[in-house]
Amino acid sequence: MATVSAAERLNLAEIARREAPEGGIADIIDIISLECPLVTDLYPEMCNQGTAHESTRIKFRPGFSLRGYNQGVSTGAAGTEVVTEPTCMAAAISKPDVKLLQHAAGGEAAQRLLEDKQFLIGGGEDLSDWLWNGDRSSDPRAVNGIFTRSDYNDLDSDQVFDNAAGNCADDDVFSSIVIIQHGPKMVSLLYPRNDPFDKNNGYGVKMKPLAEQLVTDGAGREYLALPTWFEMAFGWFIYDPRCIIRIPNICTGADINENNGYFGFDEKVLISALNALRYNGRNATVYMNRAVRDQVWHRWQEKGTFNFVAGDASTSAGEALIAPKPDRIQGIPIHIDDSIGNDQADVTT
């Protein structure tokens, strides 16, 4: 029998805050939600080894040599490498008192749904954070996120385009732009065998409402709770490492000063990164946070990379006096992802 501490229980004070003055459920405004589009952008794929996935890549091809009559050539052969990636699991559980839900505004079903939705949203935000920042070296239960993988965390990598041109300050006030090409044989979101990733609710979290069960409080006394179990299992599989490109070392603080190694967004680096996309840029999406988009937007304005239209600022024509919000670049969508932080350490060799 489970024990639920006071800190883990939905309590009467919280239920009271969710009640409107007229007695119904209050219209609750979410002021802490994050935009995490990566979770629903990814291409889901089931593991081919239970909880892990394996694929083989061409590592090198044999070369040809010029020859003349009666001259031989060296024997050659192709080489491959096997790549294996794990998945990880995460879960949460809610155990509110049955009577607390029944007696609250809206009743049991409505209150349970209200509480469960917050778990779904929180799980989606955690999932996004793990996909970007997970680190198996600090927690072997995790998967490595994009920012902890050597292909995207080293200036010597062909997949990293340095916004600071090798002159970044040694600090942790930076952010990144990441371009990902989603799809088969490019980049996939793994899920274990027979445990499909649920994108239908927009959060990637599966929810299992359970029947009433007895739990104990901190003093060992029992009461009936109405549990809901939440879970997800996931991992990255990057078939072709060239399908992810990172532009690190973008200073997002108030102290942008190139002379001291704090470089703001450089559109020339983004152009080089876009030029490096494979498969003609198929299924590519550009990810950045709001602080970086702010700089991109200002560069759009300064560079005049749009058509100015004279007119009253209150009209649609007048709005063109300000550069349009950057939501696409060369036809590739730009997605704002709040899981990309402004506190990244500088990326070096």
**pLDDT, position 322:** 79
In a domain, 344, yes or no: no
Q: What is the pLDDT of residues 204-213, one digit of tens each?
A: 788 999 999 9
Q: Please say if the pLDDT value at position 225 is more than 90.
A: yes
User: CA 111, 114, 116, 118: dihedral to nearest 10 degrees?
Assistant: -140
In a domain, 72, yes or no: no
Let me know how many helices (H) and strands (E) the chain has, helices first.
6, 14
Q: What is the pTM of this model?
A: 0.88
Q: Please say if the pLDDT value at position 288 is more than 80.
A: yes
In a domain, 94, yes or no: yes
In a domain, 216, yes or no: yes
**pLDDT, position 253:** 76
Distance between CA 188 and CA 42 in Å, rounded? Answer: 6
Query: Which range has the worst mean pLDDT, 27-41, 165-179, 263-277?
Result: 27-41
**Structural domain containing residue 314:** 6-55+83-336
- Number of independent structural domains in the chain: 1
3-class DSSP state for residue 131? helix
In a domain, 217, yes or no: yes
Instruction: Return left, alpha or beta for 70; rule: phi > 0 is left, psi -120 to 50 is alpha, else beta.
Output: left
**pLDDT, position 2:** 54
In a domain, 68, yes or no: no
Q: What is the pLDDT of residues 43-71, one digit of tens each?
A: 999 999 999 999 999 999 999 999 999 99
Sign of CA dihedral 318, 321, 327, 332: positive
Residue 246 tokens, joined: 């990172």
More reliable by pLDDT, 2 or 226: 226
- List, in sequence order, every residue forming a beta bridge with 266; answer none if it has no partner: none
Q: What is the pLDDT of residues 249-279, one digit of tens each?
A: 999 877 788 888 999 999 999 999 999 999 9
Mean pLDDT of the region 107-132: 92
Distance between CA 336 and CA 346 in Å, rounded? Answer: 21
In a domain, 67, yes or no: no
303, containing H or E segment: helix 290-303
> In the chain, where do the E strands start and end?
44-46, 52-60, 79-86, 88-94, 174-181, 187-191, 206-209, 213-216, 222-225, 228-238, 244-251, 284-288, 328-329, 332-336
In a domain, 66, yes or no: no
Residue 266 tokens, joined: 């450089």
